[in-house]
Structure 1
């Protein structure tokens, strides 16, 4: 699908001014998905594209992916560095060294606290945007010195935390508590969502599921078609009993995981079902029943598979139209919704 649109004027917020981008639209740092073609397309359109560091098998591979991205755009892009406990953790120090050596100055951290990495990044002029799922964690991240926060509501794909607070409450609560710029994540797919996030006090939006269903996303076409066909009811929350909740697509595997854990099973009982290699097969082979795979409630609002750059332009244009319509309504000059 293609659609030509005129370039839209810049939409300035504290977040765009901080990072030197044109529009406050960020592509989520999705495992297996945040690669050069997608990140470059989003950045080239004026948003912030994000490479996912741990998608790359080694730090040297990340360096090559950064260079591939630079060959496609000269605009700013970021690197997602997800920090999680592991028996054999990835070589985080080597990944962060590659980020600095390659001259990337925007990093999105997620998972555990970014504290062990803050001094290194600050020393090299890297601005850290920390992703978290609660106001208390956002405030702690601000105290650690992050440049911005990405606040993830209960609607999101992946790990929404254990508080179950949706964006309509979480975003304004974050706005009341933070002084650094922040963007809203979870449930955002279009210009209505961007306008709403700005009205609630955010400085932009982060979108994963919407960009997962873009032409440049390096996943099988069957995955994208399923997102378009699915509704907001077609996700499942797994690992609730383990207090490691994750939102994934509803399929036979996620249903089985829910059943096993609800019946008193332990993680060892579902480990073979939730192996990352199985989820990767979904994205690469298009076998939607091969494993669990992350998708947000916002899939119910995704209607097409479109170029990522067009999505950025469309979202910003729609947000402007929403704001203008509301301005007319409050001004008493007519604000009825167009047919």
Structure 2
């Protein structure tokens, strides 16, 4: 299946595995690459830029196919050394980067482009996608309201957001949020995207470097199995439904509640403990509404083969038979 996405990034299938904190490691990314899709290491999962360079080298030792690195740039009181991470990416010879975050990402996008790196920028609205296009990025990942992580504050689902963006964005675009099977891939292509990005679905694979308890929780949850947190703080985030995220929602709906009231519950370090130990009470885990479409834990290769087989069958049989 050829699309502008597969041709731009020299991959076989129009499927990307986006960068996920604590999850985007060499084991998963190399498996995605070897299966013909595009995987992304997560830069800030690594404790230092030197460790990131080592992880890039480790991933290269596991695949000879294209893969990229995600660098998410967010405002922070004590920000990580973003410039050093960016330099580690460039110096390691990585040619594909997924960027995300605030306007502060602009300087790194410009740095990557000046170094010959192809950039996919994650956006949650048409206006942000057009701004990124003007910055000179090579492709857009447009995130609908269904997605895990931060879906923005507009609450626009993919069924509207993807075609609305496709009407205006001229560069290649992949759809993110709610995708996990061949039906979603065909739908995304019909809506005007050039492929799909999956996060939660890749977490429920054998190669995902997270505890089996988390994978089983994703399989057990249905499409209602998420919570939206930080709504009152105008920094909405979608996470897996659990006792901890239920508590966060409850606290933040109380009059006068602030981030400080939930800071200890939502710490990223606690989320890492959950992913690594399987203690589902340790913190939060990120998951999208696509949980309702996830019923097993296949290998990455099995998953991608299944998605492409479903998509081919839908296009060749179901859609071809609709027109009289």
TM-score range with shorter-chain normalisation? over 0.9
Residue 150 in structure 1 maps to residue 131 in structure 2: no
Residue 309 in structure 1 maps to residue 301 in structure 2: yes
Q: Distance in 2 between matches of 1:313 and 1:99?
A: 30
Deviation at 1:69, TM superposition (A): 0.6
Kept after mapping to 1: 8 A contact 2:273/2:283: yes
Q: Distance in 2 between matches of 1:174 and 1:119?
A: 23
Deviation at 1:331, TM superposition (A): 4.0
Candidates 282, 289, 292, aligned match of 2:274: 282
Q: Distance in 2 between matches of 1:22 and 1:240?
A: 39
> Secondary structure in 2 aligned to 1:80?
strand
Structure 2 counterpart of 1:135:
126
Candidates 143, 167, 187, aligned match of 1:176: 167
Q: Distance in 1 between matches of 2:81 and 2:299?
A: 34
Structure 2 counterpart of 1:7:
none
Structure 2 counterpart of 1:60:
50
Q: Distance in 2 between matches of 1:118 and 1:209?
A: 26
Structure 2 counterpart of 1:187:
178
Candidates 304, 319, 323, aligned match of 1:327: 319
Q: Distance in 2 between matches of 1:112 and 1:105?
A: 22
Residue 249 in structure 1 maps to residue 240 in structure 2: yes
Residue 84 in structure 1 maps to residue 74 in structure 2: yes
Candidates 86, 92, 102, aligned match of 2:92: 102
Deviation at 1:309, TM superposition (A): 1.8
Candidates 209, 223, 246, aligned match of 1:232: 223
Gaps of 5+ in 2: none
Structure 2 counterpart of 1:270:
262
Deviation at 1:328, TM superposition (A): 2.4
Kept after mapping to 1: 8 A contact 2:99/2:109: no
Q: Distance in 1 between matches of 2:319 and 2:270?
A: 49
Q: Distance in 2 between matches of 1:88 and 1:242?
A: 20
Structure 2 counterpart of 1:296:
288
Candidates 90, 102, 108, aligned match of 1:117: 108
Q: Distance in 1 between matches of 2:110 and 2:137?
A: 10
Residue 261 in structure 1 maps to residue 278 in structure 2: no
For each residue in 1:230-251, what CA deviation from the matched residue of structure 2 results, as whole angstroms up to 9, or x when unmatched? 1111110000000000001111
Deviation at 1:330, TM superposition (A): 3.2
* Poorly superposed stretches of 4+, deviation over 4 Å: none
Residue 18 in structure 1 maps to residue 33 in structure 2: no
Deviation at 1:259, TM superposition (A): 1.1
Q: Distance in 2 between matches of 1:261 and 1:40?
A: 39
> Secondary structure in 2 aligned to 1:142?
helix
CA separation of 1:133/1:35 partners in 2, compared to 1, >3 Å: closer, same or farther? same
Structure 2 counterpart of 1:160:
151
Q: Distance in 2 between matches of 1:118 and 1:228?
A: 36
* Number of residue-to-residue matches in the alignment: 322
Q: Distance in 1 between matches of 2:148 and 2:126?
A: 18
Gaps of 5+ in 1: 1-10, 333-339
For each residue in 1:180-207, what CA deviation from the matched residue of structure 2 results, as whole angstroms up to 9, or x when unmatched? 0000000000000001000000000000
TM value normalised by structure 2: 0.98
Q: Distance in 2 between matches of 1:21 and 1:144?
A: 24
Q: Distance in 2 between matches of 1:76 and 1:253?
A: 38
